[in-house]
Amino acid sequence: MLTTALAFLVTIGILVVIHEYGHYRAAVACDVKVLRFSVGFGRVLWSRMRGETEFVISALPLGGYVKMLDERETPVDAAERHRAFNRKPLRQRAFIVAAGPAANLLLAIALYAGVNWAGVQELSPWMAQPQPGSLAEEAGLQAGHQVMAARESRGESGPADWTPVRSMSDLQWLLTQSALAGRDLELQVARRDQAAAEPHGASVLRLSLSRLSASDVDARLMDRIGLTGPYGEPLISDVVPDGPAERAGLQAGDRVLRINGEVPRDAAALRRAIRESQPDADLRPIVLDIERAGRALTLEVTPVRKEVQGQMLPRIEAAIGSAPAMVTVRYGAWEGLTRALDRTWEVSVLSLQMLGKMLIGEASLKNLSGPLTIADYAGRTAELGWVYYIGFLALVSVSLGVLNLLPLPVLDGGHLMYYLFEAITGRPVSDLWLERLQRGGLAIMLLMMSLALYNDLARLMGAH
């Protein structure tokens, strides 16, 4: 809990400071007097004057603001009116407002580039046996296939260029993009040994992601496609003392060749076979043909039933599967930077697509996340290491930048919408309409925040 709380505060602090610093630097560049730079809202906990600006930290850390000299908020001396925000040309006001989201997007690019240059350990795209009857199984994906590249199928315009797949996260990202766009995805796959020896001898499989709806794009997307995770060999990696496996004579390192006469293709298939071996309440012995130190043995194991996530499932009290294969993903200076630019753009577009589809009812509102989810993932990534945390920070920074550009009156995008109206009509939005739009925008934001908080609580309680 302490790690989660600290990681969340650091996350919010960095993102807010960068966002408001963008506004601040743009205002200073346009000779606008900045009265206060605040991290947080509410009661001031700490303050210090630097030049003509008061820098403060306030009690509620979920945001911040830059208060500028403005005749619409307070009387301004005649000698300083030229430094008031409202007196500046339209292009300068728009620049100051847009600088906050732009700072978040630039931060994301820098963070993504840093991760690309430093390198990160990720799961290799070495696939487990898909779920029976799933899209992945229909496409021909099998246990032991390594995904080497992927491309979208775009109908009459022809397929896109092949995109190399270096890790499981690369694959998941491409699957999410294609599913949200309603396009099929072609996968270039080969057996792991073949992938190294014959990189040009791969097979091409077609995942029919167009059969999914946009509402299927959520945390369970990989399950819906039928992907059960990375490949693991059907090994017994550990046994619980005095459990069914140990009592039957199983040992760590045993390779399972057959279970009840069936060959398990991987660890996921072995686990599934154990679950399906007990179709009713009666517990039956499982016959395992194993290989141990070059010798073949046959053992019988009678499972016990244990509660797993609210279900009573048969267990043999053993850890199954070899450790998943890992790969270090690292890029050179130029490629790391260009991939950072691409990822920031792709996440921005995907975020807008998801918001748009949620707005028209094509995507589930369950995808909307709030501060509790951010805190949870901040803590998890911080425990994994700084590189993972930096990658998470980049993702949230993009989301914050995109969110603030939405045309809602209480956000930066709402102010830019006002300025667009002013540029087209030659006159600013009236005070009456400003008040009405602010109220409407505030109501929408409160609704979104309430829904996000509800989704957070539902995820934490396991309802989603």
- Counting every residue written for the chain, the total comes to 464
User: In angstroms, rounded to a whole number, what is the distance separating the alpha carbons of residues 412 and 406?
Assistant: 8
Q: Is 198 a catalytic residue?
A: no
Residue 251 to residues 211, 244, 263, 283: CA-CA distances in angstroms?
Answer: 44, 11, 19, 22
Contacts of 142 (CB under 8 A, 6+ apart): 127, 129, 130, 265
Q: Which of 20, 152, 186, 317 is catalytic?
A: 20
Look at residues 84, 11, 24, 22 and name the one whose alpha carbon lies nearest to residue 54: 24
User: Does residue 8 contact residue 379 with C-beta atoms inside 8 Å?
Assistant: yes
DSSP assignment letter at 243: S
- Alpha-helix runs per DSSP H in 74-127: 90-118
Name the pairing type of β-strands 255-259 and 326-329: unpaired
Contacts 24+ apart (CB under 8 A), 77-82: 80/33, 82/31
- Alpha-helix runs per DSSP H in 135-184: 135-139, 168-181
Buried b (16+ CB within 10 A) or exposed e, 171-209: bbbbbbbbbbbebbbbbbbbbeebbeeeeeebeebebeb
Tell me which residues are annotated as active site.
Answer: 20
